[in-house]
Amino acid sequence: MAGTEDGFDPMAEDWDLLIVLDACRFDAFKDAFSRYFEGDLRRVRSKGSCTPEWFRRTFTGRYPDVTYVSANPYINSLGIEVAGCNAREHFDRVLDLWKSAWDPHLGTVTPDSVNRVVLAELERGKGRRLIAHYIQPHAPYLSPRYFVTGFQRPQLVKGIVLTGTADSAGNRLLARLAGKLVGLLGRLGLSMDMALRFRDALGLPPLSPLDATRRAHGVSGLREAYRENLLVVMESVALMLSSLDGLKVAITSDHGEFLGEGGMYSHPCGRDHPLLRTVPYFEVKRVKRPAHPVYSRYPVKLKVRLAFGRGNPG
C-alpha cells in the first residue's frame, strides 16, 4: 500500500480522476458504496484529522499534470494561505468552486455543481489528471428533513472559511465568542457535548451547521443527516460516472468525522482517533446507475422548500 508512517499518499496511486469526499468516515462509506459501485475498497490512514492538516502533509511536491477542482476554500487558487495551505505552491491549476459555485441558500457547494465542472474539465482532456474535492458528506446536510442552516459565504481575507453559520453572519462577534467559549470549556476538562449543551442553555447560536442539526434533531438525527448527505454525494457521483468510459477512478476522503461518539463532534485538527484518521480508498470497477434517483435530487427539493418558506419538517 502506498503511503508513509504518517499515512496514506493518494498521489502515489494510479488514477485519472480522484474524488475526495470531505469528512467521509470509512464505516459510513463501507455501508453505502455497494448501492452505486463495485470495486476494491481499502481501509487507509489519513495524514490528518482536518482538511488543512491532510492537505499540508499529503501534497508536499509539485503536480503540474493535475487539476484540482475545489469546493473547499482551504484549497484555493488565490495564493491566500489558509491554516498553512497554499494550493498554488503545488498545483498549476486550481478551480475555485467554493467561490464560483457557492449556493447562498444552502451555504455550501452542491455535488451537481462539482459534477458539471468535472465533466467540462474531462472534455478538455490534454492528458491532465483531475482531483475533484466535494464538500459532502461534510455539513451542511442537504436533506429536506435535516437541513437547518449552511455556512457563511467564505471570505478568505477575513478568515471566514467554513466557520459559523449563515444565520450568524450578521453577528460574527457573537459567533466568534461562542466558539471561544467551547474552546475554553474544553480546556477546563468538559467534553465537547457538555460545552455545546452549556451554549444551548445560554441561548447562544449554533457553532456550525453540524451543531445546528444536532440541536434541532439530536444525535440520532445528526447521524441520519450525515448518512443521507453521503448518499446525496455518492448518488450524484454515480450519475456522473455512469456517463464516462475508460477512466481510472478512485474515491477517498481527507478525514473522518465525530458524530457524538464520546461526546465529540466534527473533526478537530491534531487528533489521532480512528474515526477521524481512518478513511476509504476505493477503486471504482463498475458504476450502478440509479434507475430512480432519490438522494441526488435532495438539494433541489430542499431549495424549493426554502424558497416557499416551508422550513424543515423536523
pLDDT of res. 313: 43
Please report the pLDDT score of residue 2 as a whole number. Answer: 47
170 assigned to some structural domain: no
Domain hosting 34: range is 10-161+220-307
pLDDT of residue 308: 85
Please tell me which residue, 159 or 215, carries the higher pLDDT value: 215
Q: Which CATH number do you get for residue 292?
A: 3.40.720
Residue 4 scores a pLDDT above 50 = no
125 falls in which pLDDT band (50, 70, 90)? Answer: confident
Q: What is the pLDDT of residue 67?
A: 97
Give the range among 44-48, 116-120, 186-190 with minimum mean pLDDT.
186-190
What is the pLDDT at residue 1? 42
Number of structural domains found in the chain: 1
Asked if residue 235 is part of any domain, the answer here is yes
Q: Rounded to two decimals, what is the model's pTM?
A: 0.92
Q: Give domain status of residue 72, yes or no.
A: yes
Indicate whether 168 belongs to any domain.
no
> In this structure, is residue 174 part of a structural domain?
no
Which cell numbers in the block locate residue 199? 451554549
Give pLDDT, residue 189.
54
Is residue 197 in some structural domain? Answer: no
- Answer whether residue 203 is part of any domain: no
Give the lowest-confidence range in 49-58, 99-108, 175-184, 213-222: 175-184
Q: Is residue 150 part of a domain?
A: yes
- Over residues 261-266, mean pLDDT: 92
pLDDT value, residue 303: 94
Instruction: Give pLDDT, residue 180.
Output: 65
- Average pLDDT for the chain: 90
pLDDT surpassing 80 at residue 83: yes
